[in-house]
Structure 1
Amino acid sequence: MSKIVSTLKKLYDVIDGFVLIMLAAIGIALLASEVGSSKGPLHLGVVTSLGVALVFFLHGAALSRDQLVAGARNWQLHVFVQAFTYVVFPMIGLLLFLSLRNALPADLLLGVFFLCALPSTVSSSVAMTSMARGNVPGAIFNATISGLIGMAVTPVLMGLVISASGAAMPLGKALTGVALQLLLPFALGQLLRPLIGGWLARRKQITNKFDRGVIVLIVYSSFCDATAAGLWHQYRWQTIAAVMALAAVLLFVVLGATTVVARRLGFPVEDEIPAVFCGSKKSLANGIPMAKILFVGHPALGLLVLPLLVYHQLQLIVCSVMASRYAMRESVQRQDPRARA
């Protein structure tokens, strides 16, 4: 019990630090947007593009193929997670997009659908599955494969929805941008893994901080661009609060759905854990760079990523609590196999 509490506290410490930095970056962007805008003196448009490429290079170099092979055998779990990530989630997003388009601005709703079309997150899904004593190889496989699938599927889903709404999104250009800025660096990282994989494994803290640093820079630059364009004056605070509430409701709906369906399908608790965590989470690490590529030059980029930012913070907090509860329940089950909360 004390070990679980200690692990949870460490996770919260990391989350809180990241949240504070993110909030500080947004606050600075709102107060002094000219400095950090894409065309400002810091040239963050170029800096963040290079940072994104380097992040995915590091992801590729750090990915162990042995771990993927170890988790590849449980096909029912994989189908479940990918179906929720790329079928159920986008369907919910499309329903919200269509039903609320007369109530909320199009850019905000597009951001909600973008959230729904993103891949699952890797690091926190695996960490929380481990904390909850679940199927860690299965979590590694699904979270990683989800990210790879998302590089192709997310732009296609976004292109279809944007085209259906009457706007224009050059899908070929978007896919090319993803291939050049995400897939190519990732593939190069995989090729160089035998040379630098061990070095990176010994320096995970550095790579994790760099990853988060790039995310903060992109968020900062996006909010600077939105502020410089006068975007925040176009919407009332109630509208933005509504989207934040929508992201919260979405999280609890999907968490409930993944839990219920996994149990109805008879998943053992070890598989239910990654099914719930991988099937409900959305990746900030993939989403922010992808938004920068898909919506390049869009003045409302800050609004488009707002639902993702809210959802990301909520999923970390809520799923941390769930992981602790799963771990305690698993302990009870080992003493009494008939017990299942």
Structure 2
Amino acid sequence: MANLRNNLGRVGLNTFFFLLIAMIFLAKFFPEWGTSDSPLPLKGITGAGISFIFFFYGVKLSPQKLWEGLANWKLHIVVQATTFFVFPIVVLIFYGLFGEEGNYLWLGTFYLAALPSTVSSSVVMVSIAGGNLPAAIFNASISSMVGIFITPIWMDIMLPETSVSFDLTDTFFKLSLQVLFPVIIGLLLHKQLIGFVEKNQKTLKNFDQGIILLIVFTAFAESFAEDMFSGHTNAELFGLSFLMLAFFGFMLVLMYFISKGFRFSREDTTTVMFCGSKKSLVQGAVMGRVMFPDPVVFGVILLPLMIYHALQLMAGSALAQRMGEKKMEKN
């Protein structure tokens, strides 16, 4: 049983993955628990929890390592450009060819494309695949902070074409208050609190995941309560899953060839592929909660990101494992 659990974990099918699926089913059968009429103060809990997540994220960042990481500037520019510009432009091209105006799933796909990279899974996969680990740590960290500004700008460009209301100034203010300021405070307290964070990594990880599960539950509960998924068949959702997997594979291949065009080493190419192709469910859930105040709409918009998140863990983990084995065979 332990071997089965370990094997599933290697391809991203861990406890958190199954809990995410459970939250969707829980929201479907008990939507009243997650709506604004719920007797449970879930919105207040998630709001406070989000600030704590990013405070401790700031504590984990080392100012010295961030400064030292500036040296490999060409690699950093490519990673950030693929994350924040290549991704959205690719989706816009496909939207222009096949998109349906007013479709929230298309909007959700563009939203995931505009998001920053993940931190933990990007770094872990680069490490497994034998890539440039210091560069991965630097880029994943910078991506999370840069995304606070770039993602809302992309959505401001996209949203006037839809019926979803969006106030860029208000969004910057709310994200700064809930995300950026806690990160900065945590960064300033790095020396004082890093020991505490390192000792309690497992507890803090469980806390982070618990808050994300609450955000997912409340978003889907509101959508199910308002019957927002009634227009989408199971076949469409399976089709969306297939498209998200194809999208992930397409971006990996594209980033491989972009890296080769810059004549990056095998290690740097690996870093571009894994840092540039990942999208953060944590920041997607947090920023989406601010940018899409209507939880009914937010549940549908979050769906492509959740599917992509699960698939990037499964496919990415398997690929990283294979690349790491090939590197060991060559050595």
Q: Do both share a fold (TM > 0.5)?
A: yes
- Counterpart of 1:73, as a letter, is A
RMSD: 2.1
* Aligned match of 1:288: 285
Deviations 1:1-58 (A, max 9, x none): xxxx999748438742111111111111100100122331112122111111111111
Once the two structures are superposed, residues 228-274 of structure 1 have per-residue CA deviations (whole angstroms, 9 ceiling, x without a partner) of: 11212233333333322221121011011111221232211111111
When structure 1 is superposed on structure 2, of 192-201 and 229-238 the one drifting more is: 229-238
- Paired residues, number: 329
- Which residue number corresponds to residue 192 of structure 1? 189
| Alignment partner of 2:317 out of 301, 305, 320 | 320
d(CA) in 2 for partners of 1:116 and 1:169?
Answer: 18
2:102/2:163 contact within 8 Å kept = no
Question: Using the alignment, how far apart are the partners of 1:6 and 1:281 within structure 2?
Answer: 26
Instruction: Give 1:247-266 correspondences, 5 Å limit.
Output: 247-266=244-263
Which among 1, 5, 30 is matched to residue 28 of structure 2?
30
TM-score (norm 2): 0.93
Q: Partner residue of 2:270?
A: 273
Once residues 119 and 14 of structure 2 are traced to their aligned partners in structure 1, the CA distance between those partners, rounded to angstroms, is: 19
Residue 337 of structure 1 corresponds to none
Conserved? CA contact 1:68–1:137, under 8 Å: no
For 1:42, the aligned partner's letter is L
Deviations 1:86-116 (A, max 9, x none): 11001012223333333x7521111000000
Where does the alignment leave 5 or more consecutive residues of structure 1 unmatched? Answer: 335-341
Letter in 2 for 1:121: T
SS at match of 1:234: coil
Worse-superposed segment, 107-116 or 224-233: 224-233
Task: Answer yes or no: is the 8 Å Cα contact 1:36–1:43 preserved in 2.
Answer: no
d(CA) in 2 for partners of 1:324 and 1:274? 14
Q: Distance in 2 between matches of 1:188 and 1:10?
A: 37
5+ long unaligned stretches in structure 2: none
Preserved CA contact (<8 Å) 2:60 2:190:
yes
- Specify which of 204, 207, 217 is matched with residue 207 of structure 1: 204
**Residue type matched to 1:94 in 2?**
L
Aligned to 2:99: 101
* Structure 1 letter corresponding to 2:72: N
Provide the C-alpha distance between the structure 2 equivalents of 1:167 and 1:216, rounded to a whole number of angstroms.
24
Q: Quick one: which amino acid aligns to residue 307 of structure 2?
A: V
CA pair 111-261 structure 1, distance change in 2 beyond 3 A: same
Counterpart CA distance in 1 for 2:63 and 2:30 is 45
Change in CA separation of 1:78 and 1:8 when aligned onto 2, cut-off 3 Å: farther
Match of 2:48 in 1: 50
Residues 311 and 79 of structure 1: is their aligned pair in 2 closer, same or farther, counting only changes over 3 Å?
same
Match of 2:235 in 1: 238
CA distance, structure 1, for counterparts of residue 325 and residue 188 of structure 2: 41
Contact 2:117-2:144 at 8 Å conserved across structures:
yes
- Deviation digits for residues 313-332 of structure 1, max 9, x if unmatched? 11111111111222122223
Alignment of 1:62-211 (within 5 A): 62-102=60-100, 106-165=103-162, 167-211=164-208
